[in-house]
C-alpha cells in the first residue's frame, strides 16, 4: 500500500474505535495522535509511537480495539506491530498520550535514562549566579537506592493549603562553606504509592500539552529544554496530579533517583523552622538546604504562595540554580503564569526559562471522561463492577459542574452514595437534579436568566443593551453579542430558537454565534480568560 492508502486506513480505524462501547472519543483523539502508521498490507500494520510509555500503554489497553477495527474494515485478522521512533520523542510540543485506562492494569515500565546527575559537592550559588559548570554525569548504577524505599505518598487533589507562617525579616542567611557532612535528605520514597498517576489522568484538548510535557520529563528528567518545567492553571484543574504523577513514575521506574515533592507552604515551613533553630543548632540551616539540593528531581507546587516571601524566594533561587546548573530536574506549578506572579523579574525569567505550559478548564468531553473514570475507580475499589450510573445522569453532572475537578468528583461521589447507601438504586435525572440543586458553583441555574447574562456582557464589553440586541454589526458589538449567546447556551441550556428571540435573531444566527465562539475558544487564550471572568461575574451577581 502507498502512504496515502495507509493514512486513510488509519483514519478509518481511529474513527471506528471511537464508536466502540466504553470508549471516550476525546481520549482516542488525544491518545492516537501519538501513533503514526508506517507500513501496512493485508493482515499486517506497523505503527510507531513517540515514547516507550505510549507503546506499552497502547499494547496493554488499546491493541485489541485496533485489531478489531482493522478486521471489520478489511475482513481478515491483523497483526499489529508498534515500535518506538526516537526522532518523534525529541519534539517538545508533541501532543499528549495515554488516556484513562478501562481497567486497572499494572503501570508500564519505561527504560531508565542512561545517566544521572552528578553528586559533586559544590559551594551553594548566590542568588545572582545563574549558571555554573555542569559536572560530568555518572552512571545511575553508582547510586544505590534505599533498601526500604517504595513509591511516594498520596497527595489528594483537594488538599487544602496549610496556613503559611510569617517570615522573620531579621533572619541571618548563613551559607555553609561545604556540604560534605550534611545529613541525607528526608526521602519521599518511604511512604505508600500515590493514586495520582499518568494512567488515571484524563486528557483532553485543555490539558494535552501539559500532560505530554510532564510525561517527557518523567521519562528523561533534566533535559535542558524542559528544565525547569512550569505548569500553571486555575485551582482544581490537575496541576498537583501531574506533579505527583512525575514523582510516582520516577520512583517506580528509576528508584536510584532522589525525588522531592513539596508544596510551597511546606517549603516555607521548612525554611522558617531552620532559620528559627539556627542560633541553637548551627547545622539546621545547612541540613535544610541539603534536603533540597540533594534531589535529582525537585517538584514545588503552588509557587504563587511565595509572593512577598523574599527570604524564602532567595533561598529557593539558590537551590533552583544549583540543581538546574547540574542538570537536575526542577518542576514548578502555580495558579497563574510566571509573568503574573508578583515577584522580582529575575525569578520570573528563571521560572520561564525552560518549558512553560498551561492547563485550561476542561471541555465537556473531558469532564465526561473524568466522570466515567471516577465511576470505574469506585467499581474497582469496592469490587462492585455491576454498579452503573445512567448515561443521562453522567452527562448532566459533566455539563453542570464548573471547571474545578474536585467539585465534579464530589458530585459523582454524592450520587453514588445516594444510589448505593440511600436506598435509591434507580435514581432518575430528576432525582439527581434535586439532589445536586445547590451543589454546583457554575452550570445551569434556576435563578439565572438571559437578561442577567446580557447585562453582565454589556457591562464587561461596554456596549448598551440597544446595541447588543440591535442591528449594528461592528466588530466589538458582534463579538459581545456572540459571547452573550454562547453563555446563554452554556449556562442556561436554552434552545437556539429561544436564544435567538432574546437577541432579535433567528435560530440559525444563534447556532452560528455559539459555534463561532466554541471554535475561537480552542485557539484564543485571551477569550477563554474573558469568558471565565464573565462566568465568575454572573455567578457572583
Look at strands 355-358 and 229-232 and give their pairing. parallel
Grid cell for residue 156: 489528594
pLDDT at 121: 31
pLDDT at 338: 83
Please give the CATH architecture assigned to the domain spanning 364-435. Orthogonal Bundle (1.10)
Q: Output phi, psi for 442, to 5 deg.
A: -130, -165
CATH superfamily, domain at 183-358: P-loop containing nucleotide triphosphate hydrolases (3.40.50.300)
Measured distance CA(414)–CA(410) in Å, rounded: 6
pLDDT at 282: 64
238 is in an annotated binding site: yes
pLDDT at 202: 83
Nearest to 92, CA basis, from 216, 196, 251: 216
List beta partners, residue 263. 301
The CA–CA distances, whole Å, from 286 to 104, 177, 181, 267 equal: 43, 9, 10, 15
Sign of the C-alpha dihedral, residues 516, 519, 525, 529? positive
* 519 HSE (CA, 13 A, CB side): 7
Measured distance CA(438)–CA(478) in Å, rounded: 34
* 60 HSE (CA, 13 A, CB side): 19
pLDDT < 50 positions in the chain: 89-192, 443-446
Contact, 319 vs 298, CB < 8 A?
A: yes
Nearest to 57, CA basis, from 79, 77, 28: 28
Grid cell for residue 443: 452550570
pLDDT at 98: 37
pTM of the full structure? 0.55
- Chain centroid offset of residue 450 CA: 33
Q: Running DSSP on this structure, what letter comes out for residue 282?
A: T
List beta partners, residue 299. 261, 331
* CATH no. for 3-89: 3.30.300.180
- Chain centroid offset of residue 380 CA: 23
pLDDT at 372: 87
Domain ranges of the chain: 3-89, 183-358, 364-435, 450-540
* CATH no. for 450-540: 1.10.1750.10
* Contacting residues for 525 by C-beta, under 8 A, at least 6 apart: 358, 360
459 is in an annotated binding site: no
Amino acid at each position: 500500500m502507498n502512504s496515502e492508502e495507509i493514512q486513510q486506513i488509519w483514519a478509518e480505524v481511529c474513527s471506528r474505535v471511537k464508536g466502540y462501547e466504553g470508549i471516550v472519543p476525546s481520549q482516542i483523539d488525544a491518545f492516537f495522535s501519538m501513533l503514526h502508521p508506517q507500513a501496512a498490507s493485508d493482515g499486517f500494520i506497523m505503527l510507531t509511537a513517540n515514547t516507550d510509555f505510549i507503546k506499552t500503554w497502547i499494547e496493554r489497553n488499546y491493541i485489541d480495539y485496533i485489531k478489531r477495527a482493522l478486521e471489520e474494515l478489511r475482513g481478515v485478522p491483523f497483526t499489529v506491530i508498534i515500535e518506538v521512533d526516537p526522532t518523534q520523542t525529541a519534539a517538545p510540543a508533541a501532543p499528549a498520550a495515554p488516556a484513562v485506562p478501562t481497567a486497572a492494569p499494572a503501570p508500564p515500565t519505561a527504560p531508565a535514562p542512561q545517566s544521572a546527575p552528578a553528586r559533586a559537592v559544590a559551594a551553594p550559588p548566590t542568588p545572582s549566579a545563574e549558571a555554573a559548570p555542569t559536572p560530568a554525569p555518572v552512571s545511575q548504577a553508582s547510586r544505590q537506592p534505599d533498601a526500604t524505599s517504595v513509591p511516594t505518598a498520596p497527595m489528594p487533589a483537594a488538599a487544602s493549603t496549610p496556613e503559611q507562617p510569617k517570615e522573620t525579616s531579621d533572619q541571618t542567611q548563613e551559607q555553609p562553606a561545604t556540604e560534605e557532612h550534611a545529613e541525607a535528605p528526608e526521602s519521599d520514597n518511604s511512604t505508600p504509592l500515590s493514586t495520582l498517576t499518568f494512567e488515571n489522568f484524563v486528557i483532553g484538548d485543555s490539558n494535552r500539552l501539559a500532560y505530554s510535557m510532564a510525561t517527557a520529563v518523567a521519562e528523561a528528567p533534566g533535559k535542558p529544554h524542559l528544565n525547569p518545567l512550569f505548569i500553571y492553571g486555575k485551582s482544581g484543574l490537575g496541576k498537583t496530579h501531574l506533579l505527583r504523577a512525575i514523582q510516582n513514575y520516577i520512583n517506580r521506574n528509576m528508584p536510584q533517583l532522589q525525588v522531592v515533592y513539596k508544596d510551597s507552604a511546606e517549603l516555607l515551613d521548612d525554611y522558617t523552622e531552620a532559620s528559627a533553630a539556627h542560633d541553637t543548632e548551627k547545622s539546621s540551616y545547612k541540613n535544610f538546604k541539603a534536603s533540597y539540593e540533594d534531589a535529582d528531581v525537585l517538584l514545588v507546587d503552588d509557587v504563587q504562595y511565595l509572593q512577598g516571601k523574599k527570604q524564602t524566594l532567595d533561598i529557593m533561587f539558590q537551590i533552583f540554580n544549583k540543581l538546574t546548573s547540574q542538570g537536575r530536574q526542577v518542576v514548578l506549578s502555580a495558579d497563574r503564569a510566571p509573568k503574573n506572579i508578583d515577584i522580582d523579574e529575575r525569578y520570573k525569567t528563571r521560572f520561564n526559562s525552560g518549558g512553560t505550559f498551561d492547563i485550561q478548564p476542561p471541555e465537556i468531553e473531558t469532564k465526561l471522561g473524568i466522570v466515567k473514570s471516577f465511576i470505574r475507580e469506585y467499581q474497582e475499589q469496592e469490587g462492585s463492577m455491576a454498579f452503573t450510573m445512567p448515561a443521562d445522569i453522567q452527562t448532566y453532572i459533566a455539563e453542570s459542574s464548573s471547571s474545578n475537578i474536585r467539585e465534579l468528583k464530589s458530585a459523582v461521589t454524592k450520587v453514588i452514595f445516594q444510589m448505593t447507601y440511600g436506598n435509591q438504586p434507580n435514581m432518575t435525572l430528576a432525582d439527581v437534579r434535586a439532589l445536586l440543586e445547590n451543589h454546583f458553583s457554575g452550570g445551569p441555574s434556576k435563578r439565572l436568566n438571559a437578561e442577567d447574562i446580557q447585562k453582565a456582557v454589556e457591562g464587561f464589553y461596554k456596549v448598551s443593551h440597544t446595541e447588543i440586541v440591535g442591528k449594528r454589526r461592528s466588530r466589538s458589538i458582534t463579538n459581545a453579542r456572540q459571547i452573550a449567546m454562547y453563555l446563554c447556551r452554556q449556562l442556561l441550556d436554552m434552545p437556539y430558537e429561544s436564544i435567538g428571540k432574546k437577541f432579535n435573531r433567528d435560530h440559525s444566527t444563534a447556532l452560528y454565534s455559539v459555534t463561532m465562539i466554541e471554535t475561537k475558544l480552542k485557539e484564543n487564550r485571551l477569550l477563554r480568560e474573558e469568558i471565565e471572568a464573565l462566568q465568575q461575574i454572573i455567578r457572583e451577581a
